[in-house]
Amino acid sequence: MSVHAIHESQSKASLYSSTSDWGAEHTLETGIKLPPGTPTYKVAVLDLHPTQLAVGMQQVHAKMSKVANKQQKGPQALEKFLQGHPVPVVLGPGQQRYMIDHHHLCCALHKMGVKSCYAGTVCDYSELSQEQFWVAMARRNCLWPFRSDGSAADVHMLPGLLPQTVEGLADDPYRSLAALVRKAGGYNKSNKPFSEFIWANHLRPRVPMVLMAVPDVERYVHHGISHAMHPDAAALPGYTALHVASKQQLDSMSCLGQEQLQAVE
């Protein structure tokens, strides 16, 4: 099948073509979500292949705290939580499952000893060759080809660079910083795929971080907010200038508390 043929097939069977009546908020261009009503199934966490090279480990630890809280409430609470957070996957050659969201959650589950989670298939590319599969994944915006230091990886080399499981995901502290800046009101949550990685790469050259420790984090977050609201960031997803920030954002900025800064390595 040629690349042109792949493009043609994608127009007929895109990642979300299984549901015909859902709105633009569910398309890949504005967010990675499971279509409403997608059947879910249990799958081993380590059977899910990542489509990015790194996570923000502080954010993984925050997810671990949530998982621990559910575990303390009992098996039913954890099961309900997992059912409510299914992982969207794309089936690749050999029926291999590639996760296109929830990398932080799955990393947290693995670290907490939770062996399985729920997943839903948003697209079946299992009949494509390896080369065709990766072309399709790139065209559908399902890959984040940046290393943990923000450097770009050659897309053609990415299949060999991606870890086989969440165990191999590297730590990008700027991905954690980007999430903390958002939670502190620096910008609005966006459904654009990989939006917090985009912010991480924006903040990387602007907020030098020597040590990611609790006493330093609030200072880094304050610096991050100032850069997030600068006109230089106007093109980024969720950007909000300070003079038009919502009351909720301003309230968040005024209470950079321990709830946001906990579990920092």
Task: Name the nearest CA neighbour of 176 among 146, 145, 143, 203.
Answer: 203
Boundary residue ending a domain (170, 196, 218) = 170
Same-domain check for residues 206 and 154 = no
Same-domain check for residues 13 and 124 = yes
Q: Is residue 188 predicted with pLDDT exceeding 50?
A: yes
Same-domain check for residues 71 and 88 = yes
Q: pLDDT at position 242, please?
A: 66
Q: Is residue 146 predicted with pLDDT exceeding 80?
A: yes
Instruction: Say how many domains are in the chain.
Output: 2
What mean pLDDT do residues 237-257 have? 67
Same-domain check for residues 9 and 113 = yes
What mean pLDDT do residues 183-211 have? 91
How is the beta sheet containing 87-91 ordered, strand by strand?
Answer: 40-44, 116-124, 87-91, 97-99, 48-49
Q: Is residue 256 predicted with pLDDT exceeding 60?
A: no
What mean pLDDT do residues 165-191 have? 95
Q: Helix, strand or coil for residue 149?
A: coil
What mean pLDDT do residues 5-21 have? 33
What mean pLDDT do residues 236-240 have? 94
| Buried b or exposed e, range 154-184, using 16+ CB within 10 angstroms | eeeebeeebeebbeebebbbbbbbbbbbbbb
The CATH number assigned to the domain holding 84 equals 3.90.1530.10
Digit-coded pLDDT (tens) for 78-114: 999 999 999 999 999 999 999 999 999 999 999 999 9
What is the overall mean pLDDT for the chain?
83
Contact 100, 141 (CB under 8 A): no
Same-domain check for residues 8 and 95 = yes
pLDDT > 90 in the chain, percent: 67
Cα 192 from Cα 235, distance rounded (Å):
12
What mean pLDDT do residues 191-213 have? 88
Beta-strand relationship, 87-91 and 54-55: unpaired
Boundary residue ending a domain (119, 141, 170) = 170
Angle subtended at Cα 242 by Cα 197 and Cα 25, rounded to the nearest 5 degrees: 50
Range of lowest pLDDT (18-22, 102-106, 252-256): 18-22
Boundary residue ending a domain (170, 201, 234) = 170
Same-domain check for residues 179 and 80 = no
Q: Helix, strand or coil for residue 38?
A: coil
Q: pLDDT at position 55, please?
A: 98
Same-domain check for residues 166 and 177 = no
What mean pLDDT do residues 10-14 have? 35
Q: pLDDT at position 35, please?
A: 83
Same-domain check for residues 157 and 221 = no
Same-domain check for residues 148 and 83 = yes
Q: Is residue 9 predicted with pLDDT exceeding 80?
A: no
Cα 113 from Cα 108, distance rounded (Å):
9
The domain containing residue 226 runs over which residues? 173-261
Spatial CB neighbours of 216, under 8 Å, sequence gap ≥ 6: 209, 210
What mean pLDDT do residues 30-42 have? 79
Q: Is residue 70 predicted with pLDDT exceeding 90?
A: yes
Range of lowest pLDDT (19-28, 133-142, 249-258): 19-28
Q: Which residue has the higher pLDDT, 215 or 125?
A: 125
Same-domain check for residues 139 and 188 = no
Q: Is residue 202 predicted with pLDDT exceeding 60?
A: yes
Residue 231: pLDDT band with limits 50, 70, 90: very high
Same-domain check for residues 183 and 116 = no
Digit-coded pLDDT (tens) for 203-212: 999 998 875 5
Q: Which residue has the higher pLDDT, 177 or 265?
A: 177
Same-domain check for residues 103 and 230 = no
Chain centre to alpha carbon of residue 181: 16
